[in-house]
Amino acid sequence: MIVILDQVEETFTQPLSGSEESRSELEDFLEIVKWVFDQPGKRPQGKLILSYRKEYHPEIRDGFQKLLLPYAEVFLQQLDRNGIIEAVEGLTKHPATREKYRLKIEKGEDGNLAEIIAVDLLADKKSPIAPMLQLLLTKLWDTAVQENSEPPIFTVARYQQLQKEGLAMDDFLQQQMEQLRQWQPELVQSGLVLDLLHAHTTALGTAGTCAMDELRQNYSHRQDTLDALLVKCQALYLLTRIQQN
């Protein structure tokens, strides 16, 4: 069993309501972790992975050391050329995914498509490579399936067309906002869409979450369109829904 806890830094940036100090929340959690893993005969067969921003590493590391919890550190580097190529071609490498998705990737005159994408993404040193790659692969897959699902093909021509349309995050936001404007212009012009998206971010500019009860309360004056707007934002990859167990 592998359990991954993402955005652990929120124990400091967004402490639970009622917590006297952010560190106590982390310490309470680590004490539970110690109790779970400190019993050799009953220890779970697996790993617990904590993911967080590097600037909070000293505080989290100190919490582990204080309780004598064994741990290993892995610093995630920005995606490099090989990582980008692996992400693009991954479905074609493993027998199971190759059989399931049947994806083909075109080799153009300028070289392999994955290599072309890697060069382009790495050319902009300020570009958020992983989010941009995710958006790009999503668009390539959607268009490939629409054009020919048996089998879908990532083509150089389609990639070049997406480049012309704009692959930067600002370009993506403007494109999706334009689709929302065509769907319901009043929701964009009134500022409701931007307000809703802003509600799903943190003070640090990272992704945040909103419970449906919270959204219904904050946008009680727009109950007539809230559900439809949330569905549309999810379809346009502006928001994602987290399933609660």
Are the C-beta atoms of 34 and 69 separated by less than 8 Å? yes
pLDDT at 12: 82
Please give the single-letter amino acid code of residue 209: T
pLDDT at 46: 87
Reference 88, options 132, 52, 32; nearest CA is: 132
Provide the b/e sequence for 150-167 (b: ≥16 CB within 10 Å).
eebbbbbebbeebeeeeb
| The model's pTM | 0.60
Torsions phi, psi for 47 (to 5 deg): -135, 150
Question: One digit per residue, pLDDT tens: the chain, 245 residues?
Answer: 899 998 898 888 777 765 555 457 888 899 999 998 888 888 888 889 999 988 899 999 999 999 999 899 999 888 899 999 999 999 999 999 999 999 999 876 666 899 999 988 888 776 778 888 888 898 899 889 988 878 899 988 888 888 877 766 677 788 889 999 999 999 999 999 999 999 988 877 777 888 888 899 999 989 888 989 999 998 888 888 776 54
pLDDT at 147: 85
